[in-house]
A and B are shown apart, each in its own frame.
Chain A
Amino acid sequence: MRKFLFLMAFIICSFSFSATLTQSWLVSTTSGASQGVGAGIVLMDAGSALRGLDFSTTESKVFLASGTNIYVINSNDGTTTGNGYNQNGQVDVTGASGGTRVINKVKVADDGAIYACNLQTAIATGALKIYRWANSASSISVAVNTTISGLPVARYGDSLGVIGSGVNTEIYVSGSGQTRILKFTTTDGVNFTLATTIAVTANYGGTDIAPVAVNGNLWVSGSGVLTYKINQSGTVLETISGTVAATGWPVSMIAKQKMVILTF
């Protein structure tokens, strides 16, 4: 109990004020150039190209989904040089095709495997595809290639959540305005099939899905709604207060003990 009280006191003392994060490096259209970044940077464009990002603790690299590619970023300095399948800062996307955006979101599993999904606005007739790489230097494989009819909303691929390792890896996908979260599982760690659809209130999970544990609860966020923790049945267990992350366009992600909520 004393340990618990000490810990609580430490928490209160540590976080009773807001702090400014120190910038290590930044590639920004504001500056028109990179700050603290060397050669081989990925420049932002005006076409909303970059929509996905994740970090691999296995490789200590950052992955950026650009709509058609995944850039491999050195987490120490923001550069792309010498990284990836072709050493040009990109993963292998040979054969990737289909969807409004071929590669929309990217997430890294606990074992370092990289997963990316396309953005499909008509899943009944156009395939939702999820690609897999064992690591950033590996060849691409197709983990999911499926059309699904009968769903109330057709759009999938705005959000992607991945957790677990190998045969215990789980993939969650949803989309803007969506009332379902698709859950994919695997028996070989490479090929995935639809395990279940989780019914949710519209947009719960439309922006981001952050699994807490394998076959466990999910933190979800979406446009026009708050950030919630739901269970595997879609029941809301907890809600992040609107005073912390107001209804609008929050984007959240849990990584180990943290949730990062962007408000903008």
Chain B
Amino acid sequence: MKIKNCYGCGGCVAVCPTGAITLRDEVEIITEKCIKCGMCELVCPAGLIAIKNER
């Protein structure tokens, strides 16, 4: 899953406990390693991640 309108700050990558998020070309991508803990959603400065609802 790609994050829409992502600025690529990398905050979600830093807080992800399972390494499920990678940052390529300024877009974060969440993979199947996601455990839906919601840390990335909390930290995103622009509120672009709504992981619990979408997955």
Q: Are A and B physically bound partners?
A: no
